[in-house]
């Protein structure tokens, strides 16, 4: 072998190695894709029809990319790729897997190596019809329903014909309702139809909350026929009334969500404040420690984020609970009966804990990932959707409340806590170790605050000042509900949360908080012991 042949062989090998790498096989045969690449634009429609007939739903990513004008192919391999832009740079990805194609983003690959597959208006019309037909005949009812809703905004003759053909055969109730809505929308906009049929169609549309339906009805208010205009206005009014009712439910949900956060943040404080009479200014930092525990657990379990929350809950309870016991044993037990000194001491501890966290984790906020099963929302209708993370936190807060009530009523610790809260001296005379009860109570309250930090980490960023945002609200909830009364804490937390969320749209967040604070001050003037005051010896 001569030197020239050796150099040529090396160049060929280098060229093969430099070609872009494609990961998985496409669901469409290589022969059809090659035919798509090699066929001229004027004869491309039969090839697209052949792909539609043989591949069905598997062809959707290819058709959508082609319709968007982002479909390219590599000249050397005839492989089709989709183009997208990232930070101003053009990149390419596998059409079917959305994985980046290695090599095509290199500077050496320019317009000579990658060529665009062009489309014209005739082919675009066919692609839209093909995509609609594939989606509307999908095996999945959810896909068919989503396809109909997506077509409401841009109904044309072809899609209406497909829906009319499929409507009598559709077995799924929700999909059939959506198809009926699309057909009614077509009749309502058809000026060639009779007035009675258009009015009947508008009446059908008045039961829908879809934005596309409202947009079409708004256009119909400028129709030439006075009866159609009147019917369209009436339908819009009905839709607005329904939308307002669902908006009220949405605000109520956000109020309950805020109330659940306040409940978790204040329920631990209600125990320590009610039993020990200690104004714990470091309670917010117990919440912060729970949130940072969640962050650390996710650092240790980067590949198991979905399960990390179940590890973080007991871990946060232990970390914050042990810190609470430590604070009670070293500081608070030595200041018993001196509330002012206790307040100042716990305020100093809160500053120490904040600085400790800044030293270890830095002052920057930390992002905690939300598990996939808590992400997204539950869409009830087009105007009402409930976010899953808030829904889970609401249920979690109620579960924690029920467990805590069960502990206080059904366990020996709960019996001792109630005895000490009602009459400390008598409990001590009966042999109850009040110092141990104080430590366990403070640890339990701090542990629950840590659990509240786990919940808050799913709603906001984790930072050294996280607890400071909730300490004042926690005290307001405890005082408003009645010191040491768990039922009062529950009612007060949800009442303040709902009131705040209903005030915010009209007054703004800051003014809403001020109004709530003024209300509580005035209320305490009338009822100093709160909504549910303690009775019997506990009232003393």
Q: Could you write out the DSSP letters of every residue in 268-334?
A: HHHHHHHHH----TTHHHHHHHHHHHHHHHHHH-TT-HHHHHHHHHHHHHHHHHHHHHHHHHHTGGG
> Residue 109: what pLDDT?
46
Across 462-474, average pLDDT: 86
Structural domain span for residue 86: 21-123
> Residue 434: what pLDDT?
76
On average, the pLDDT of the chain sits at 84
Nearest to 349 by CA among 268, 429, 446: 446
* Residue 535 structure tokens: 């009775």
Handedness of CA 254, 255, 261, 263 (dihedral sign): negative
Residue 2, pLDDT > 60, answer no
DSSP state of 536: G
Q: Which residues pair with 82 in a beta bridge?
A: 71, 93
Do 431 and 301 belong to one domain?
Answer: yes
The model's confidence at residue 104, banded by pLDDT at 50, 70 and 90, is low
CA angle 194, 207, 192 (to 5 degrees): 15
The contacts of residue 43 (CB under 8 Å, 6+ apart) are none
Do 326 and 472 belong to one domain?
Answer: yes
Nearest to 210 by CA among 181, 250, 170, 189: 181
Q: Three-state DSSP class for 467?
A: coil
Q: Is 137 part of any domain?
A: no
The position carrying tokens 């010191």 is 483
Express each pLDDT in 135-181 by its tens digit: 888 888 888 888 888 788 777 777 888 888 888 888 888 888 889 88
Q: Is 168 part of any domain?
A: no
> Residue 108: what pLDDT?
46
Nearest to 319 by CA among 297, 346, 299, 289: 289
What's the rounded Cα separation, in Å, for the pair 466 and 457?
Answer: 9
Nearest to 200 by CA among 188, 214, 215, 186: 188
What's the rounded Cα separation, in Å, for the pair 84 and 110?
Answer: 14
> Residue 253: what pLDDT?
93
DSSP state of 364: S
Residue pair 163/129 in contact by the 8 Å Cβ criterion:
no
What's this model's pTM, rounded to 2 decimal places?
0.74
* Beta strand 80-86 pairing with 114-116: unpaired
Residue 67, pLDDT > 90, answer no
Residue 442, pLDDT > 50, answer yes
Q: Three-state DSSP class for 192?
A: coil
Do 487 and 348 belong to one domain?
Answer: yes
Residue 23, pLDDT > 50, answer no
> Residue 269: what pLDDT?
85
> Residue 25: what pLDDT?
59
Residue pair 53/64 in contact by the 8 Å Cβ criterion:
no
The model's confidence at residue 498, banded by pLDDT at 50, 70 and 90, is very high
DSSP state of 398: H
Q: Is 539 part of any domain?
A: no
**Domain end among 123, 152, 184:** 123
Residue pair 280/271 in contact by the 8 Å Cβ criterion:
no
Q: Is 451 part of any domain?
A: yes
- What do you get for the CA distance between the two ends of the chain, in Å? 105
The structural domain count of the chain equals 2
> Residue 485: what pLDDT?
80
What's the rounded Cα separation, in Å, for the pair 46 and 63?
Answer: 14
The position carrying tokens 């109520």 is 252
Q: Three-state DSSP class for 20?
A: coil
> Residue 126: what pLDDT?
84
Q: Is 163 part of any domain?
A: no
The lowest-confidence range among 194-198, 325-329, 331-335, 494-498 is: 331-335
Q: Is 227 part of any domain?
A: no
Residue 16, pLDDT > 50, answer no
Residue 14, pLDDT > 70, answer no
> Residue 101: what pLDDT?
76
Q: Is 165 part of any domain?
A: no
Q: Is 152 part of any domain?
A: no
* Residue 498 structure tokens: 């709902």
Nearest to 454 by CA among 374, 353, 532: 374
The larger pLDDT score, comparing residue 56 to residue 240, is at 240
The model's confidence at residue 496, banded by pLDDT at 50, 70 and 90, is very high
What's the rounded Cα separation, in Å, for the pair 439 and 436?
Answer: 5
What's the rounded Cα separation, in Å, for the pair 179 and 141?
Answer: 12
Express each pLDDT in 340-387 by its tens digit: 888 889 999 999 999 999 999 988 888 888 888 888 888 888 888 899
**Domain end among 70, 104, 123:** 123
Across 398-417, average pLDDT: 87
Do 305 and 436 belong to one domain?
Answer: yes
> Residue 259: what pLDDT?
92
**Domain end among 123, 138, 164:** 123
The model's confidence at residue 394, banded by pLDDT at 50, 70 and 90, is very high
Nearest to 263 by CA among 486, 424, 29, 61: 486
């Amino acid at each position: 072998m001569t030197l020239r042949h050796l150099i040529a062989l090396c160049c060929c090998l280098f060229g093969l190695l430099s070609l872009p790498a494609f990961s998985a096989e496409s669901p469409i045969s290589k022969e059809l894709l090659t035919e798509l690449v090699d066929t001229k634009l004027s004869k491309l429609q039969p090839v697209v029809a052949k792909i539609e007939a043989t591949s069905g739903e598997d062809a959707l990513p290819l058709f959508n990319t082609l319709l968007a004008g982002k479909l390219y192919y590599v000249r050397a391999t005839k492989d089709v790729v989709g183009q997208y832009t990232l930070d101003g740079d053009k990149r390419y990805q596998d059409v079917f897997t959305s994985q980046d194609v290695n090599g095509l983003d290199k500077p050496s690959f320019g317009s000579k190596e990658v060529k665009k597959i062009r489309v014209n208006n005739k082919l675009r019309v066919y692609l839209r019809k093909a995509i609609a037909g594939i989606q509307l005949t999908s095996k999945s009812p959810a896909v068919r329903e989503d396809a109909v809703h997506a077509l409401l905004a841009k109904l044309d003759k072809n899609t209406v014909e497909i829906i009319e053909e499929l409507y009598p055969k559709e077995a799924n109730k929700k999909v059939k309702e959506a198809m009926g809505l699309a057909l009614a929308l077509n009749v309502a906009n058809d000026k060639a139809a009779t007035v009675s049929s258009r009015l009947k169609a508008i009446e059908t549309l008045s039961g829908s909350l879809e934005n596309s339906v409202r947009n079409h009805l708004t256009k119909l208010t400028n129709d030439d026929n006075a009866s159609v205009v009147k019917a369209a206005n009436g339908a819009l009014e009905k839709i607005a009334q329904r939308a307002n009712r669902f908006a009220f439910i949405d605000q109520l949900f956000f109020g309950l969500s805020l109330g659940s956060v306040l409940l978790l943040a204040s329920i631990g404080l209600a125990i320590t404040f009610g039993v020990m009479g200690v104004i714990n200014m470091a309670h917010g930092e117990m919440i912060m420690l729970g949130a940072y525990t969640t962050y650390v657990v996710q650092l240790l379990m980067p590949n198991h984020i979905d399960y990390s929350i179940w590890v973080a809950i007991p871990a946060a309870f232990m970390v914050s609970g042990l810190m609470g016991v430590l604070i009670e044993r070293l500081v608070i037990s030595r200041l018993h009966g001196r509330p002012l000194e206790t307040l100042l001491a716990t305020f100093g501890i809160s500053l120490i804990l904040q600085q400790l966290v800044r030293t270890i984790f830095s002052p920057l906020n930390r992002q905690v990932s939300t598990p996939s099963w808590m992400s997204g929302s539950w869409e009830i209708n087009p105007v009402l959707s409930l976010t899953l993370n808030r829904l889970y936190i609401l249920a979690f807060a109620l579960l924690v409340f029920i467990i805590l009530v069960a502990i206080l009523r059904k366990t020996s610790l709960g019996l001792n806590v109630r005895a000490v809260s009602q009459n400390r001296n008598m409990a001590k005379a009966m042999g109850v170790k009040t110092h141990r009860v104080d430590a366990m109570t403070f640890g339990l309250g701090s542990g629950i605050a840590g659990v509240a930090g786990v919940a808050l980490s799913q709603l906001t960023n984790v930072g050294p000042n996280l607890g400071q945002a909730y300490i004042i609200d926690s005290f307001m909830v405890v005082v408003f509900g009645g010191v040491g009364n768990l039922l009062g804490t529950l009612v007060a937390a949800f009442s303040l949360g709902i009131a705040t969320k209903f005030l915010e749209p009209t007054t703004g967040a800051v003014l809403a908080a001020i109004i709530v604070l003024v209300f509580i001050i005035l209320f305490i003037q009338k009822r100093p012991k709160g909504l549910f005051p303690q009775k019997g010896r506990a009232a003393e």
